[in-house]
A and B are shown apart, each in its own frame.
Chain A
């Protein structure tokens, strides 16, 4: 199963990184959102560090949404999804493959976005980089897991681009709340013990929703 999933993820990522349109758009989009935030605040009234956690997470939320829309849209061309479903691989491998590809995609965007965020808003990240990456990873796994499941459904509806955010955002709120609180605590230089609680909430969300998505994914593709 793992081998099949990896093959599928590799295929998606190859398509992505050879054409580069989607990944480049997502990165440019991230930069633009960061810039919009710069103009959306009064620098004399609100210190960058107070707003920083929100800026970071709102940006990554939108970027992830953009990335997720693409995952199953890719398979709609030439009925590639039907071919995929006929192939002798389990449904779980298909889901896992898509999940891995989406995670790599979103992680790439975040890896570009994070240094830019530090640069634009003059936030010191280096001393908290380890824990911050852990927060990023846990939160991303949570909403990409749900997003991959939902995009399998919305891709075949009429308003895919609009419907996915409407369905997914309520599911992104709990991990977002915890991630923002954890990021704020880290950036304010609070001890790591204060962040541990948020991290375990994030991990619990990940475990529950990855499991649930595995169980429910076959229902979204089987005929």
Chain B
């Protein structure tokens, strides 16, 4: 199937580029003065967090479009995006503590941003659990669209509620009102890493989408 093949190619390109980003991050990007080599995980942690957020946003968007247009493609995309988003949240939630242990001295704290990302992960899991619990495809598509939209609306509220507490997490240093305060070489590495993670997201989602399509066809023939 062509779609599956395309997805595999995009993923392969993404993985090769990921190796390239690692090489650049480890060998050709300066070591941060205060954090030392631990800071290198930043180039994996931050892009995976952003892509996981983006995946949730797209799940919600796919839900809105599905309810408006009743096109099953949006449902398949929502499912694919949620699964890939779950994977990226796992990357974010594992790399975070690995960095936090040497720098903060603790694996986990109930810090605002940590709580927010844990919620994101649990929202993804809830979405996938709901999909697993509904057998009728039409019903499943509508239910997950409803949940996806609610999740999308919930995120700003969680954001608001957790930000009222003091935060230990480093503040944004790239997307902030003033100019990015990251040294040029680090910024370039980070942006490259962002790009690679987006490519990987597209590759994974394409493959997952093709897989749902194949499964539907198989069910249809059976």
Q: Is the CB of B161 within 8 A of A153?
A: no
The residues of A that contact B19 with a CB separation of less than 8 Å are none
The residues of B that contact A150 with a CB separation of less than 8 Å are 147
Interface string of B106-133 (1 = CB under 8 A from A): 0000000000000100110110011001
CB of B37, distance to nearest CB on chain A (Å) = 35
Among the listed stretches B38-46, B92-100, B138-146, B205-213, which one makes contact with chain A, having 4 or more residues with CB under 8 Å of it?
A: B138-146
Q: Is the CB of B126 within 8 A of A167?
A: yes
Q: What is the interface of chain A mostly: helix, strand, loop, or mixed?
A: helix
Q: Is the CB of A163 within 8 A of B160?
A: no
Q: Pick the residue among A174, A201, A212, A222 that contacts B150 (CB under 8 A).
A: A212
Q: Is the CB of A208 within 8 A of B153?
A: yes
Q: Is the CB of B143 within 8 A of A201?
A: no
The residues of A that contact B158 with a CB separation of less than 8 Å are 170, 173-174
CB of B43, distance to nearest CB on chain A (Å) = 29
CB of B168, distance to nearest CB on chain A (Å) = 18
Q: Is the CB of A153 within 8 A of B130?
A: yes
Q: Is the CB of B146 within 8 A of A216?
A: yes
Q: Pick the residue among B126, B146, B150, B154 that contacts A166 (CB under 8 A).
A: B126
CB of B102, distance to nearest CB on chain A (Å) = 30
Q: Is the CB of B154 within 8 A of A216?
A: no
CB of B63, distance to nearest CB on chain A (Å) = 9
Interface string of B134-167 (1 = CB under 8 A from A): 1100010011011101100110011011101000
Q: Is the CB of A174 within 8 A of B146?
A: no
**Distance between Cα atoms of A18 and B213 in the complex (Å):** 50
Is A171 among interface residues, defined by CB-CB distance under 8 A?
Answer: yes
For A171, the closest partner residue in chain B by CB is B154
Is A185 among interface residues, defined by CB-CB distance under 8 A?
Answer: no
Q: Is the CB of A157 within 8 A of B161?
A: no
**Distance between Cα atoms of A212 and B157 in the complex (Å):** 14
Q: Is the CB of A216 within 8 A of B150?
A: yes
Q: Is the CB of A220 within 8 A of B130?
A: no
Which of B119, B125, B135, B154: most chain A Cβ within 10 A? B154
Q: Is the CB of B160 within 8 A of A170?
A: no
The residues of A that contact B142 with a CB separation of less than 8 Å are 219-220, 222
For A163, the closest partner residue in chain B by CB is B133
Q: Pick the residue among A149, A201, A222 that contacts B160 (CB under 8 A).
A: A201
Q: Pick the residue among A166, A201, A212 that contacts B153 (CB under 8 A).
A: A212
Is B17 among interface residues, defined by CB-CB distance under 8 A?
Answer: no
Also in contact, A167 and B147, with CB within 8 A (given A157-B134, A212-B153) = yes
The residues of A that contact B4 with a CB separation of less than 8 Å are none
Interface residues of B, Cβ cutoff 8 Å to A: 67, 119, 122-123, 125-126, 129-130, 133-135, 139, 142-143, 145-147, 149-150, 153-154, 157-158, 160-162, 164
